[in-house]
Amino acid sequence: MIDTVRRRANWVIVVTYLLCLLLSVWPVPSWAEPYRPAWVVLATVYWCLFLPHRVGLLVTFSVGILLDTLTGSLLGEHALALLLVAWVTLKLHLQIRVYPWWQQTLVVFGLMLLYSFVLFWVDGMLGYTQGVLLRWMPVLITALLWPWIMQLINMLQQRYQVS
């Protein structure tokens, strides 16, 4: 009984991460590309917040490496940014969990600032300095998506009893 529940749970976590990776490379018109929300950050924050004993730093690192391969960036760039986000989330998960939705949105905004800053910093060292202002658009968009995505994954988690 517990084994089937656990297997189901893993299945749900893997599917949410896969969907986020798919959305991260889904083709959109080139003008819309800089506005793409950081889907993987949303999944990482959610699972680190609500299932910290399941999804921790190792999972985050692996997903980050996969994201690096998909986006063609330097290996370890997205992994580092995601790791820092996961670390802050795990450290504060007991506080953030009980915040109201708008306060959680603010937290996600802050985490996205950290995430985008790491990407900006590494890209800057490599000499990819285009779109200095456009780089910060996903911060706002991802934070605004948080309440909806949280509800959605929460529904999935309740439905399949992921714990």
Which residues form the interface with other proteins (CB under 8 A)?
A: 2, 18, 21-22, 25-28, 30, 33-34, 36, 48, 52-53, 56-58, 61, 64-66, 69-77, 79-80, 83-84, 86-87, 90-91, 93-94, 122-123, 126-128, 130-131, 134-135, 163
| Residue 95: closest CA among 57, 52, 40 | 52
Shortest distance in whole angstroms from residue 109 CB to other proteins: 20
**Taking the complex as a whole, how short is the minimal distance between the CB of residue 96 and other proteins, in angstroms?**
13
Residue number, 102 or 156, with CB nearest to other proteins: 156
Pick the closer one to other proteins by CB: 45 or 83: 83
Count of alpha carbons within 13 angstroms of residue 106, beta-carbon side: 5
What's the Cα-to-Cα distance from 106 to each of 18, 133, 139, rounded to whole Å?
26, 20, 11
First to last CA, the chain: 13
Nearer to other proteins, 53 or 102 (CB): 53
Q: DSSP assignment, residue 130?
A: -
- Closest alpha carbon to 63 in 147, 48, 51, 49: 48
Query: Is the Cβ of residue 28 or residue 106 nearer to other proteins in the bound state?
Result: 28
DSSP 8-state symbol, 99: S
Q: How far is the CB of 85 from other proteins (least distance, A)?
A: 11
